Amino acid sequence: MPRPLSHIRVLDLSRVLAGPWASQNLADLGAEVIKIERPGSGDDTRSWGPPFLKDKDGKDTREAAYFLSVNRGKKSVTLDISKPEGQRIARELAAKSDVLIENYKVGGLARYGLAYEDLRKTNPRIIYCSITGFGQSGPSAHRPGYDFIFQGMGGLMSITGERDGEPGGGPQKVGIAVTDVLAGMYASLAITAAIAHRERTGVGQYIDLALLDSIVAFGANQILNYFASGKVPGRYGNAHANVVPYEVFATADGHVILAVGNDSQFASFCKVAGRPELAADARYATMPGRITNRAMLIPLLREILRERSSAHWLTELEAGNVPCGPINNYKEVFEDPQVRHRGLKVEISHSAGVPCPAVASPMRFSETPVEYAVPPPLLGEHTRQVLGDLLGMRREELDRLAAMKII
């Protein structure tokens, strides 16, 4: 069955995380993704191990888990675009592609004749997405940037971490490279929107996607608090600026998350906890009251929750329709019955002769489901196939290019 983007070919000149995240999303939607990699070394993340995928004898392969996590569904073509003949081949591939994704420094591909203005001359329908740290313009456009930098610059670390003055207080980054992931997600959305526009008008376009913009946009609800009040948001640790109680509480044997989003849920919590008088107290009965009197209420709740085990609270609170949850490590995540039911771990047959584990896409379609048939490619696995089939290159020419280390 044709998938949503099965008519689309993507030329992917990106590496590491943000760009490959975007192109993997497009591959999941059925696009043919041709990943251009450096001969001999490939995408930087191929060497970002251990851990590496193990072969059937339990020995490490050369396939790093990091690379595997964002490159399924793609074809790997090795091509040295620093050389004129490699640039010519890249331009020929771009002429036969619908989308190009790149994450070079601003202006980096212009010196190779691979900028948008170069490629649109021969392919005016091309959708060209540039992913950079700071965008294509402005005083910082020339600067390189990494997720960690943007978590700080974009405000995320100012609201993440324990409160100042508390044990462990201070700024904290998120444990995932969230800026890269967000930029990849925004890039995926922007590209699919540009495809829809082109299908109506026949016109391609350029997409300027910045990591800084992405992480700032991510903070919109906290930023609007600042815009509306003039008060700069601070760190609340595991608490919430606008909802109380909404944080982690210690139990008799661990921790649970209590996420009470409205007044009726708070009343239900108090009933389950055997403290209905708290819900009747004017200081705590409403959300504004609980926010205003947070400093008095939270210590009371801490005492209550320490009296019982995590399992007790999770069972009783769920039965009382009070939002709550455990704090799972990733082993526990994939033991969760709901996670198993949703099939969030998948395995794809890999060229190394073993199944390659992967995390399923959250996109669920009733008519065009995501398929998991194409594993992350070996370096250069599809070079000859793609250049032969798409550009009509004969074996003799491919042998010549290989001898010159162009491919």
Active site residues: 180
Asked if 221 and 195 touch (Cβ cutoff 8 Å), the reply is no
Structure tokens at 391: 């550009």
Compute, in degrees rounded to 10, the torsion defined by CA atoms 156, 157, 159, 160: 110
DSSP 158: G
Q: How far apart are CA 375 and CA 317, in angstroms?
A: 42
Report the candidate in 350, 359, 389 with the shortest Cα–Cα distance to residue 62.
350
Q: How far apart are CA 86 and CA 113, in angstroms?
A: 11
Matching residue, tokens 């930029």: 183
Query: Which residue type sits at 139?
Result: P
Q: How far apart are CA 123 and CA 372, in angstroms?
A: 31
Q: Which helix (H) or strand (E) holds 402?
A: helix 395-403
| DSSP per-residue string spanning 275-344 | -HHHHHSTTTSSHHHHHHTHHHHHHHHHHHHTTS-HHHHHHHHHHTT--EE----HHHHTTSHHHHHHT-
Q: How far apart are CA 224 and CA 136, in angstroms?
A: 26
Strands 355-359, 345-349: parallel, antiparallel or unpaired by DSSP?
antiparallel
Q: How far apart are CA 10 and CA 27, in angstroms?
A: 9
Q: How far apart are CA 403 and CA 397, in angstroms?
A: 10
Residues, the chain, total? 407
Compute, in degrees rounded to 10, the torsion defined by CA atoms 276, 281, 285, 287: -120
DSSP 133: S
| Range list of H helices, 48-201 | 65-69, 84-95, 116-119, 147-153, 178-201
